[in-house]
A and B are shown apart, each in its own frame.
Chain A
């Protein structure tokens, strides 16, 4: 399998993504991008109508710019470093693994695929994430997030592991949530969670989900030196919407 190596120093966003696309159309399946610094929409321009659903493998060193993997369908991206805002924006399928932290609106309107963030994320994580039948996006965060986690969430699975020193202090969790589920490992006060959300203990089906994705998280970040069992021993809570129509009563 041919690996394409690109030193992205000084290459603007559009040109970089053009090059990636050209290589893809020529049959490349593996990319190593070095010295990435602020280039946006990496992974977005890699949809080919007549190509087969080839999954590309993209390895990034540096700090990608906003909207990494936006509208992405099916590729695998690994970043050695932090990422910025809009990661996985309306992502349809694929996988993004980040050895660091993410910014705001992570996984916004995500519809499929998986994202693993080793450290913390910012505001409005998983905003309006969606699912349909068995197409369910998954988001696993090793640290914690900031306010408005899961705002308008309509589907999908979000797992916050709270592995760092920072406690869960975010507020407005699940405001407007009407689908999907959020699992949080650690302490969260009722007042941090919106009124439409029900807090409960994970059941057997939930434990299976946690087992699967925490396992994948641990495999993706071996340097953390953590074990799946160790993480699963912690106390998890389950957050889900009380109703599919949280605002039915306020209109006359």
Chain B
């Protein structure tokens, strides 16, 4: 292994399809439609990755953190060893209320599945760590597992939500985890992947998640090296070798730790250009200039469309010059986000509003609120 050369990571590039559906009144629905929608965009992927995030799926354990772990490795022995090491680690740091293998269907056409397990836990903090908040505690433990325990990866760590992902077309991954009927959620996001590095692995599929934040992403971040070093300064270990990871950690840093609202986070990821900032009024100019000055290293350059999920919201955002597509639509309580409109029409032929947001303008679905974007512009259908 080479010594100190820090930048020697191999970044996988993700071009793909994304989809999100949310019932803003919190009514839960099955995954079937979402699977159909993402399957409709089949040609955008190449079968080397698919995944889903679902919110509201564990009402029985809604007060516990639901860890989804994959144990990888060539042989069954490797997987078992990893699980043993992980179980030991978990036992020392958490109280485990329930744990089981995530139900799956072996006939699905996915490649080489790892052992995937879920644990419902609460933190058991000792010593100095007793001062950490639950969430910081969990983040640090998750980082530890993902960097220090070989062949074990925590890929979901929020309450009453979960990520299901793997190598295969998204509809195949949905088959594997039996997502059509098994779970009901009020937010579903989905992703179909087209990585250009042929060595796909289960951990590399989207969504990426940390606590209750999940990210699905279409595009490539050319500022990855810059974003990565900035996040590493704040304790995030970018180990999963894809640029989507930095988005998830950046959202965690800005929204959870620094309590910035999504409107500002959007202006950090996709800031307006200086020419337009210079023409704004003094107050806005100062705010936006300061954001760019301070958070310049978190500007996400390069084409991207992302859908960010949290327990109470679903957010769609594109890059500042809209190099990737995003169509948003509403129908009653439902909010849809998709790479292509056809996928939405497939499951909801009638729509109240359909539009494509401007680059850098977030579309926000908030639980128990019909608000969609802060500055609403009435489109001509």
Contacts and interface: CB of A to CB of B under 8 A. Distances in A.
Interface string B328-367: 0000000000001111011000000011101100000000
A81 B379 CA distance: 16
B380 A123 contact: no
A37 B40 contact: yes
A63 B377 contact: no
B325 A147 contact: no
A196 interface: no
A64 B43 CA distance: 14
Interface in A148-166: 148, 163-166
B381 interface: yes
Interface residues of B, number: 25
A73 interface: no
B276 A82 contact: no
Contacts of B282: none
Given A38-B343, A65-B342, A66-B340, A101 B381 contact: yes
Secondary structure at chain B's binding surface: helix, strand, loop or mixed? loop
Contacts of A142: 380
A51 B289 CA distance: 61
B356 A122 contact: yes
B8 interface: no
B327 interface: yes
A84 B321 contact: no
Interface of A: 13, 37-38, 40, 62-66, 81-82, 84-85, 100-101, 103-104, 119-120, 122-123, 142-143, 146-148, 163-166, 169, 171, 191
Given A142-B380, A146-B358, A165-B379, 8 more contacts: A40-B43, A84-B340, A84-B341, A85-B340, A120-B355, A148-B321, A166-B380, A171-B276
18 contacts: A40-B43, A62-B345, A63-B342, A82-B341, A84-B341, A85-B340, A101-B381, A104-B322, A104-B325, A120-B379, A120-B380, A123-B322, A123-B359, A143-B380, A146-B356, A146-B358, A163-B380, A166-B380
Interface of B: 40-41, 43, 276, 279, 321-322, 325, 327, 340-343, 345-346, 354-356, 358-359, 377-381
